[in-house]
Amino acid sequence: MTVLQKKSDNPIAHLSTEDIEEIGRRLDAIRAEVIAARGASDAAYIRKVISVQRKLELSSRAVLLLSLFPPAWIVGTAGLSVAKILENMEIGHNVMHGQWDWMRDPKIHSTKWEWDHASPSEQWKHSHNELHHTYTNVVGKDNDLGYGIMRVDEDQKWYPAYLAQPLWNFVNAMFFEYGIAAYDLELGKNLATKKRRKDPEFKARAKQVFKKIRGQMTKDYVVHPLLSGPSAVHTLAANFTANIVRNVWAHSVIMCGHFPEGVQTFEKKSIEGETRGEWYLRQMLGSANISGGRAMHIMTGNLSYQIEHHLFPDLPSNRYQEIAPKVQALFDEFGLQYTTGPLPKQVASAWAKVFRLSLPNDFGSKVRGALTGAQQRPLTAG
């Protein structure tokens, strides 16, 4: 059975082996239903999103040719920020998951897509699709847990360096695409020894990353500013701002989907002989959703349905909203916590966890107790 990371209050203790396998069968049925129903309307959706994104980026860059004038700078920067978010979240992330491969369109295929990001698509697909989605929240196996720079579970050994993890997390948010590129490259591990630094495979992958970063920087900080003529400096600033906005947004969405209180972590032995039902259960308990409207879901790449995405990473993202009520009903039926909440609440919860776990367990427990007490304490008049 799936083994939670040393929890005193085990949220799955009431489930039998038969219950877990029944959950697996139900989820397989939901997946099969969507696969059987996907078709022209789904293809039209992704093609429309791509068209809107490209037109928005082109028009925003056109406006930035006049970015010497403040109104043009504001409009162009805002439009470019949204365009970059759409390209990364709803398009790039989901296309590279293979969600649209069934269309057999070589222009919208996981094997062909290269995104507006510092991390080369092939390296990202390995670290994200093959590793993270296989070993979701398994401590010591899923490197997405803290990206190798943060403590995200009480059972991780505490070191004084973790005191600075709120600062590292802030810097990581600002320059998230470069953090992901370094993470995909396993930079810390591969720079640790001379043997790893000299490894031909690592050197080839590093060369690929630097080539991608050089291309991205040339596009945003050389070519487009030069095309703006007198507005060159303002356009450069606009591109830099748009990249920061996209990075902070993407980081916030990922944080909300993986780090809030209520999201569970698992021991390495949890995947020994893991059944399909147990794998599903780990995805259910190791993710959290963000509530909101249609615009919110599109801007998050439908990762506001992180639970549904982790259950079905290869289903079209526009279908997550449709299947979410069925998934939540399954949670309720089997007495499981469906972790969800509005963006501000989830961001606050994730950051509170980052701060709490930057401290030794005894101090962190006091912080959690103080926060819980403050939340539960009734307001008084006067």
φ/ψ region of 159 (left if φ > 0, alpha if ψ in -120 to 50, else beta) reads beta
pTM (2 d.p.): 0.90
- Rounded to an integer, the average pLDDT of 32-45 is 97
Return the CA Rg of the chain. Answer: 22
User: For 248-298, how does the pLDDT look when each residue is reduced to its tens digit (9 = 90+)?
Assistant: 999 999 999 988 888 888 888 878 889 999 999 999 999 999 999 999 999
In order of 91, 128, 368, 372, 376, the CA distances from 365 in angstroms are 40, 32, 5, 10, 16
Task: For residue 340, give both structure tokens.
Answer: 């969800």
pLDDT the model gives residue 371: 55
Residues in the chain: 382
Classified as helix, coil or strand, 291 is strand
User: For 50-85, how does the pLDDT look when each residue is reduced to its tens digit (9 = 90+)?
Assistant: 999 999 999 999 999 999 999 999 999 999 999 999
pLDDT the model gives residue 165: 92
User: For 332-371, how does the pLDDT look when each residue is reduced to its tens digit (9 = 90+)?
Assistant: 999 999 999 999 999 999 999 999 999 998 775 665 556 5
Task: Write the CB contacts of 211 (distance below 8 Å, at least 6 apart in sequence).
Answer: none
pLDDT the model gives residue 145: 67
Query: Which of 256, 241, 225 is CA-nearest to residue 89?
Result: 256
> What single-letter DSSP state applies at residue 112?
T
User: For 192-247, how does the pLDDT look when each residue is reduced to its tens digit (9 = 90+)?
Assistant: 888 888 889 999 999 999 999 999 999 999 999 999 999 999 999 999 999 999 99
Cα gap 242→166, rounded to integer Å: 23
Cα gap 168→182, rounded to integer Å: 14
- Which band of pLDDT confidence, cut at 50, 70 and 90, is reported for residue 378? very low
Classified as helix, coil or strand, 342 is strand
Task: Write the CB contacts of 118 (distance below 8 Å, at least 6 apart in sequence).
Answer: 177, 178, 180, 181, 209, 212, 213, 216
- Rounded to an integer, the average pLDDT of 130-143 is 84
